[in-house]
Structure 1
């Protein structure tokens, strides 16, 4: 997604029939408007929600002619400032209609609860999926990147896993097997000899730098190559 939405293209987000408009009296309390205070609808027709760039327009259109009855323009999809839900219903709102320096408020809603849900969801989705994501992408692009390069005098120490570890274990095991048992507590002067079974062949410990060391290093190289991919 680009940093800015194309201001020349219009996207129709919602089309609904049987929308209603009401004359709104002053709010009876500080909590907000109540749809139960409204009288009969003063207009019925279609509603179309259209996005252009970061702007959303709620257009009220005559059912027959398609002429524009009223339009609520919401800049930057900040619909909370232009679309206020009433306190006693989920199907009605108060729209702020702006004309130059003047503005007026009208009641707006649907008879069908599903239509009302779709209307509310399309406004929220546009703000979350377009405007907010554009702002997040722009903020991420402006964040400075962290310098991970080595500075002068800095070094990296790499420990080879298993280097010499298995050899010490093997050597220790071999040396332990060649030690004679301690003298008997009975004071016997003879020390029994240790004899390997006839079928076992004696294998001398490999000198330093043999194939095991190379295998350890090869294992390390293989693991490092796999991790770098």
Structure 2
């Protein structure tokens, strides 16, 4: 279960008040999911949807009357070759409906369908997914570009002096070999969420 500290770092990307959730059959062949096969007039549940991101993880939470009905936790992992399409896919016959993998107890996955009454909300979701993917890509590129900076490791009794000309000197109270360690320089990337609605 996610702890409070992790939950506090989430960035809200979008929300929708009316989302129809469906139990869906397996795909017929490799052509993709079709919403026409879902009995659209009889959804499994009508929910609210909240989409939030934290680092390389995206959360789609389907809420019903204030209770979590289903959750999809998307973790983009290049080593495992997991992309957004591993978790969520457009259907082939509508712009309003999607098939998505949700996680249950013990990490078991199941695929459900969901859709929106308004196409604008479907567009908002696609923009949120694109923003999330680009944010993860930017963060990954930034990490590979971080320089390694050598800084002195002070021994007991040593003092460091910093002047205003950008140079630092270390005065040693005893003769000891200098040790260095390499630490990464953190880079914080903060981007605003995508705009809502069609452009």
TM-score by length of 2: 0.63
> Which aligned runs of 4 or more in structure 1 are off by greater than 3 angstroms?
none
SS in 1 for 2:76: helix
* Paired position in structure 2 for 1:135: 140
- Which protein, 1 or 2, shows the higher relative CO under an 8 Å CA cutoff with sep ≥ 6? 2
Residue-by-residue CA offset, 1:66-102 (whole Å, 9 max, x unaligned): 1110000001383211001111111111110122242
Cα distance in 1 for partners of 2:146, 2:49 equals: 37
More helix by share: 1
Alignment size in residue pairs? 135
Residue-by-residue CA offset, 1:161-194 (whole Å, 9 max, x unaligned): xxxxxxxxxxxxxxxxxxxxxxxxxxxxxxxxxx
Q: Any unmatched runs of 5+ in structure 2?
A: 78-82, 149-199
Cα distance in 2 for partners of 1:13, 1:137 equals: 22
Cα distance in 2 for partners of 1:101, 1:11 equals: 23
Cα distance in 1 for partners of 2:70, 2:37 equals: 22
More strand by share: 2
Q: Any unmatched runs of 5+ in structure 1?
A: 1-5, 144-229
Structure 1 vs Structure 2 CA RMSD: 1.9
Cα distance in 2 for partners of 1:90, 1:34 equals: 11
* Paired position in structure 2 for 1:43: 45
* Paired position in structure 2 for 1:24: 24
Cα distance in 2 for partners of 1:142, 1:35 equals: 49
Q: Whose radius of gyration is greater, 1 or 2?
A: 1
Cα distance in 1 for partners of 2:113, 2:92 equals: 13
* Paired position in structure 1 for 2:58: 56
